[in-house]
Structure formats: C-alpha cells, structure tokens
A and B are shown apart, each in its own frame.
Chain A
Amino acid sequence: MTMRKIMVAGLSAAVLVAASSVAWAAGQYSPGASDSEIKIGNTMPYSGPASSYGVIGKVDAAYFAMINEKGGINGRKINFISKDDSYSPPKTVELVRQMVEQDQVLLMFNTLGTPPNMAIHGYLNENKVPQLFLATGADQWNDPKHFPWTMMWLPSYGNESHIYASYILKNLPNAKIAVLYQNDDYGKDYLNGLKAGLGDKAAKMIIATQSYETTDPTVDSQIVALQASGADVLLTAAIPKFAAQSIRKVYDVGWKPTHFLNSVGNAVGTVMKPAGLEKGVGIISAAFAKDPTDPQWQSTPEYKEWLAFMNKAGLSANTTDVQAVIGYSFVQTMVEVLKACGDNLTRENVMKQAASLHNVKLPMLLPGIMLSTSADDFDPIKQMQLQKFDGTTWQLFGDVLSASGS
C-alpha cells in the first residue's frame, strides 16, 4: 500500500517533471527563428519606376522597430531585412535567395509587385519557405493546393468586381453593362470577376466589352464604341492614366451611365483631379482601408494612433498616402500571425497560423472588414465597401459587402 503510494507519487512526479520539461524546453524552430530573434525577409522597389510603393516597406520596418522597442513578439525581437529590388524580377530572385540561403530568414513577407513575386513563387514553394501577404492583388495567388507556401492579402481584383456585380444585381437588375478593361491578366481578372458575380445572367447583362493596351495613347474610341452599344452601366478596369481618360471622355460625350471604377485607379490625386473633379461626380468605387485624407476618420483614436506612429517613424511626408495605411495593416497582420505562433516558430506552423485567421479586425481597415483564412482559402480580405464620389472626396455608403455573400 505504502509502497504503491510511493510508486504512484514517484511516477506522477516523474510525469510532472517530464511534462514541465517539455513545457520548458525552448520553442521549436526553423531557420531564422530562435529564443531571441525572428528573421523576416522582404523585397521592395525603393528605387526605379515603382518606387512610390516603397513607403509600404518603410512602414513595415518602422512598425517592427516599434514592436521591438516594446519587447518584441513573445520575447523575441524582429530582425526585418528589407532590400531594394527596383521592381526587377531577376534582382528579386537574387535577393530572395540571398535572404533565404545566406541570411537564413524564417519567411518572406510583403514582397511587392506581381512580376517580382512570380519570379520567386516557384523557388519559395520548392524550398518550403513561407511567402506571406504579397503586395499584389492578382487572383492567381490564392492557390493553396499548388502553392501551399504562398498567401495573398490585398482584396483580389476578381473579388472587387464580384462585389460590383452583387450591387448591380440587387439595385440595377435590368442593367445593360459595358466594360472597359486593360488587355492583360489584371484587366481580365476584373472582367471574369464581374461575370462570376453575375452568374448565369452575365451573358445577357454584359452587352459590350472593349479593351485597351497600355501602349494606346487614349481610350476615347473605346468609350465611344461602348456608348454606342446602348449600355447604361459602365465598369472601368483601368490603371490611373486610362481611368482618368475614361472619366473625362464619358462626361464629354454626354454619356450618363452608372459608372463603376476599379480601386486600382480611383485615387483622388492621380485620377479624379486630372480627370476633372466635376466630371467624376456620382462614380462608384470600392475601398477596404481608411483613406487618411477623409475627415470622418481623422477624429478617431485609430487614426490618431496611426498618425502618431507615422510621425514618430519620421514618415510625416506620407501621412496622406493610403499606401502607408495599407502597409500598416499588412505589418499588423504579420505581427498577429507571429503572436499566434507562440513558441512554435517552424515554417509549417507559420503557414498553419496564417491559414487560421478568424475574423481579425485591423484598426485602419474600414469598420466591418475582417480577415479570415482557412486551409483551402489563402485570400484573407474578401470584403469591401462601396463609395461614391461627391466632387471632392469619396463617400462610403451601404454595408460592407462580401464577394461570397451575394
């Protein structure tokens, strides 16, 4: 009896010790992570034609620095290695190989641009290195079956178009739709998203499409042709220069369709102003992040916190740039995932946690927008809110809409 008691006590003590030693054993790590540090790699176009996006990388770096000042994530400091690829794919490959093989980063985060990401897509998946939260919106990135190490972040072009389709079905059920799109994968993502959103009504409702090449001088003739089709709804899927031309021409020829404008080309400064502010009144577009120039956010604590962060980071010049808001939200998503990893900082667990986001809200995204992922859904942001141009700014209206919630 006593013997048995002693044995039981001894055994349970042994079990306890064993269990606690498991708990105390430091975390599990892949290359790039340790008890004190998490190494993260990144490429950005700090120079070259796409350098205006470089602000995203600067915001990432400043945010990680702030996190480190506050003690890091689960006691580990972030070592953020961000290099300039000038938006040149061969350079991206070289830099990413350097970061993965020489610097030994745990993961690649927020690499910018479709071509640079295309160039490293195969390499990172082959070597099982996470390629997280890409700064590109093409639909193709959401492909966990073939590329289980790659996860997108920005709302995809297709989803945005899907949201316009839902709105049209509900509010303009008899619409005759015309589409102007850029003749490449980006433009076609919008066209296909619209078709998918309209479902079996697509063939009947879309009565005219016109495409343009980025080398075209104007889209005037396309607009005239679309007007002649008799359409009363227009979707413009165009980059800023052509978006501005489209708005101006539609107004000048006296066409008054319900005009949907893709978020790629809806910035007030680079599209609406050059087109002529009065010519854009009534245009509908979509947004997912808070526009820092919109007065309705400027009194909120979330905005003030963001502004304070930007000023402290020496990025005061970028406080009107929506890219800085998007960068802030990118890096907060990354921090969220790393927190969820706890002491298990293996590449497998990073992907597992990234694929387990459940209704995550971020302070500078529009209220109601939530990030969700799962093992077969690597597309975190599927919601957007519609907004209408009032001649000065975009005014949000209606509820947050979801691409799948049609």
Chain B
Amino acid sequence: MTMAKSVAIASAEQPAAATRNGAFVAGAWRSTGALVLIAAAVALPFTISNYHVFELTQVMIYAIAVLGLNILTGYNGQISLGHGGFYAAGAYTAAILMHRYGVPYWATLPPAAVICFALGVLFGLPALRFEGPYLALVTLAMAVATPQLLKYFDTWTGGQQGINLIKVQAPAFLGIGRDRWLYLVVLTVLLVAMRVAANMLHGRTGRALVAIRDHPIAAAAMGIDVARYKTLAFGTSSLFTGVAGALSAIVIGFVAPESFTLFLSLSFLVGSAIGGIATIFGAIVGGLFIEFVPNIANDISDAAPWAIYGLTMLLFMYVMPRGVVGSLAGLMRRVQSRRATAGQGLEEQKRRLS
C-alpha cells in the first residue's frame, strides 16, 4: 500500500479534484496493487536461479542505501558524497559483532542502525555550517578517508585483510537455500524501510524537510527548527544507509576497506539521481542502475565500459531529468490534470449552453 501511495504522494501535491469517495476507491486499488506487487516480490526468487536471486538481493541492498541518501539529498537538499562511509560503518558494525562477539546476523541490524544514526547526527551537526557545494566537499572528505581509516584501526577492522564472516544459513525448517533466504530477509528490511520513510516523509516531518530544502529562511520564519530537522535528516539518512551496509556484509560474507571506496559513494548519488530524487520508489530504480548498468556496459565493450556507463547516465538525465520515477510521476500528473481541465471545460460549455 505504501509503495504505490508513495509514487503519487512523493510530489507532495494531492490531486485537488479528487473527491473523498474517489480517494477511497483509489486507495483500495493502490493497497490491492501493492499487495500483488509484494506477493510477486516474495514469489520471484523461487522462479529464477540462485545467481539472479543474489543479484536482486544486491539491488535491494543498494535500494535501501539510496533511499537513505534520498531522504537527505532529495527531500532535504543536503548533498552527500560520503554515504559510502555510513555504509561502511554499518557493514563493519555487523561484521565485528558477528566475528568477535558471535552475535547472530539478524541481531546486528539494530546496533548498526543505532550506531549509524548516532554517526549521522554527529556528522550532521558540523554539516549545519555548510551549504551546497561546501557540504559536498566535507562529505567527499569522509568518502576519501573511509578506506584509510578502516586500515588504520586494524585491531578492530582486520586492516587491509578485512574480516571474513561465517556464511549465513537459512532456517532448516524452511527448506530453502541461503540465497533465497537472504533475499527474503533483505526484502523484509526494504519494505519496512520504505514504510518508515513514507510515514516520515508524507507527514509534517516530510513537509518540514522539503520546506527547508526549497527555502530555508521562509521555513525558519514559519517556525520550523531548521537545525533540528537537518540533523534529523542526516541521522535518519545515515541509519538507512548503515543498515544497507550491514546487510551487504551479511550477504557478501566479507568486508575489506577496498569495498568502500569513493566510487561507492558516487554510485549512491548516481542511483539516487537516476531513480528520481525525492521519490521513494526511485530508490529501487537506483538500485537496479547501480547493480546492472556497469555489468551491461562491460558486456557491450571491454575496452571502454566506463564511457558507456557515462553515456547511459547522460541519456537518462537528458530524457528523464527528474529521474525515472520522478519523471514518470510528473508525466502521470500532467495527463491527469489535462483530463481534469478537459472535464472542467466540458462542464463550462454545458453551463453556457444551458
């Protein structure tokens, strides 16, 4: 239900013409649609090979990370080039808890969430002083420093060698393999994350975040505590991305500094922009892009895969400047409003004629 709703609501503009009854019917349709989608997502891994299941699991992990970045950059207008750092923090929290303290994998997600939220808030405080490109630079510094910091604290992180984790096993009574089980675990986290994000972004908090993005002075004049909301956005965003990092450590079964380079941070931003900044569904498109486009580019040309990657990115931004989901939602709204105005015109004609 939330998923379908989010597409329309992401615009933060409700179609004004809809009657109460109409809204109710549309809501029911949306809930049914969402349930069908979820059922399909649950059934999907049982129809494809383990490798494709693994790929889709990766897509969903990236989607959660992009969703996190979207809260910060899309809704709140704070650009981060350093979310790979929070992703790494989540991954290492999970890895260290599993490896050193024998914590079961599922129990590492809440601590990863808490730690990354705290890190995000801490990072958000000094970030209050920076705007636009300056903030981008500060976060860039974090992305660049992450791999080296991980090597420096090698008593905890295993340094260059990283940490090898015991492979997760599916509960025996289910009788399904590891890949399918992890897919379902990650799918559950993704759905919860989307629901939480929708609740947050489609209410007062979301409006406050958007207001701050669009006009911070006006927002402050309206009584919005700008500093508080900005810090909150940083914390929540980092929480989402950190949980994604923890899931990635669990699914890959290995963490090393080289896993969290600057390119990862940039990929999140690319995914966010391509999917549709300030949309919730866009995160999934972003995840698909991060996972598949580099591979497809490599299959097309061994010699210049990154040129093809770049071209694809340009093409997307040219055709759909507001991201895939953002542009599609915009298109749908335009169609709807045209229909509505067409309807209005008819009414008017009738009135004149009568």
Contacts and interface: CB of A to CB of B under 8 A. Distances in A.
A101 B167 contact: no
Given A97-B51, A215-B148, A90 B252 contact: yes
A71 interface: no
Contacts of B58: 90, 94
Contact of B254 (A97, A119, A183): A119
Contact of B152 (A93, A118, A213): A213
Given A48-B263, A185-B160, A118 B254 contact: yes
B256 A89 contact: yes
Contacts of B298: 83-84
Contacts, number: 87
B202 interface: no
Interface residues of A, number: 33
Nearest to B147: A49
A183 B154 contact: yes
A105 B225 CA distance: 59
A48 to B, nearest CB: 7
Nearest to A113: B258
Interface string A83-112: 110111110011001100110000000000
Contacts of A90: 58, 248, 252, 254, 259
Interface in B62-106: none
B29 interface: no
Contact of A215 (B51, B152, B254): B152
Contact of B51 (A87, A102, A115, A126): A102
A214 to B, nearest CB: 6
A83 B305 CA distance: 11
Interface string A210-221: 000111000000
A90 B54 CA distance: 12
Contacts of B258: 87-89, 113, 115-116
B188 interface: no
A173 interface: no
A267 B54 CA distance: 41
Interface of B: 49-51, 54-55, 58, 148, 151-152, 154, 159-162, 164, 167, 248, 252-259, 261, 263-264, 298, 305-306
Interface of A: 47-49, 83-84, 86-90, 93-94, 97-98, 101-102, 113-116, 118-119, 121-123, 126, 183-186, 213-215
Q: Enumerate the 7 nearest inter-chain pairs by beta-carbon distance, A residue then B residue, closest first.
A: A115-B256, A101-B51, A119-B254, A184-B159, A115-B258, A184-B160, A90-B252
22 contacts: A48-B261, A86-B263, A88-B258, A88-B259, A89-B255, A93-B252, A94-B54, A101-B49, A102-B49, A115-B258, A115-B259, A119-B256, A121-B164, A122-B167, A122-B253, A123-B253, A184-B151, A184-B159, A185-B160, A213-B152, A214-B151, A215-B148
